[in-house]
Amino acid sequence: MNLIILEPGDFQSPASEPIPVATIRGRRLQHVLEVHRAEVGDALKVGLLNGEIGEGKVLRRDEQGITLEIALHRAPPPPLPLTLILALPRPKMLKRTIQHATALGVKKLYLINSYRVEKSYWQSPWLAEDQLREQCLLGLEQAVDTTMPQLELRKRFKPFVEDELPAIAADSVRLVAHPVTDTPCPVDIRQQTTLAVGPEGGFIPYEVEKLQEVGFLPVHLGPRILRVETALPVLLSRLFPAT
């Protein structure tokens, strides 16, 4: 937790104190007590969810909560100019993938179905809204960011690609990561991009064709076949090395 993310409900009524004051409890409190071991007067790095980043000075601490005097003064890092279309990872990888994508600055993420996504993956309890939100928060805390990603689930490949994707990808460069192609993934693209990444084993040819029909260009990452969890940071770093 490199950043303590505050939500509006953490703040005391603005009328009560001239300077904003917030109290953290639960998981964040435990972390500050056990890892930071912050004392009264110490400053912690804090950010307001979907807002600015700054410091929180410890005013009071006990087992029930830590009360912080909040001063926010800088914007969060800029979002990647990217919409990520990702075949739903298996449950074991789902949490980690969401955390990594969020830490890397992805702000729009569609988890979609694909032939090689097992039906059972869609039953994962980790797909519940509050669980996904928690993984996004962990990614933001890690990366020192406050901007919550938008995350959407789409359980049917064809209607998504045919009916929704053209509007989602409008006015953007459209790429699909696909090991079996001759075109290398571009470097430092500096343009709004929509990137589709398949499941382990890749999109099947039919799916790649459907994506091509709506303007997606298959690109590869070199001779090595990477797991999705490795391919994702490699792709994003390659497309947006300076972000």
The residue ranges that bind a copy of itself (CB under 8 A) are 2, 77, 100, 103-105, 142-145, 184, 187-188, 222-227, 229-230, 233-238, 241-243
Of 77 and 81, the one with the shorter C-beta distance to a copy of itself is: 77
Of 20 and 139, the one with the shorter C-beta distance to a copy of itself is: 139
Min dist. Cβ of residue 93 to a copy of itself (A): 11
Residue 50 and residue 66 in contact, taking contact as beta carbons nearer than 8 Å: no
Min dist. Cβ of residue 90 to a copy of itself (A): 14
Q: What is the DSSP string of the chain?
A: --SEEE-GGGBPPGGG-SS-EEEE-HHHHHHIIIII---TT-EEEEEETTS-EEEEEEEEEETTEEEEEEEEEEPPPPPPSEEEEEEPPPHHHHHHHHHHHHHTT--EEEEE--TTS-GGGGG-GGGSHHHHHHHHHHHHHHHT---PPEEEEE--HHHIIIIIHHHHTTTSEEEEE-SSSSPBPPSS--S-EEEEE--TT---HHHHHHHHHTTPEEEB--SS---HHHHHHHHHHHH-TT-
Min dist. Cβ of residue 153 to a copy of itself (A): 23
Min dist. Cβ of residue 14 to a copy of itself (A): 29
Of 166 and 222, the one with the shorter C-beta distance to a copy of itself is: 222
Min dist. Cβ of residue 22 to a copy of itself (A): 22
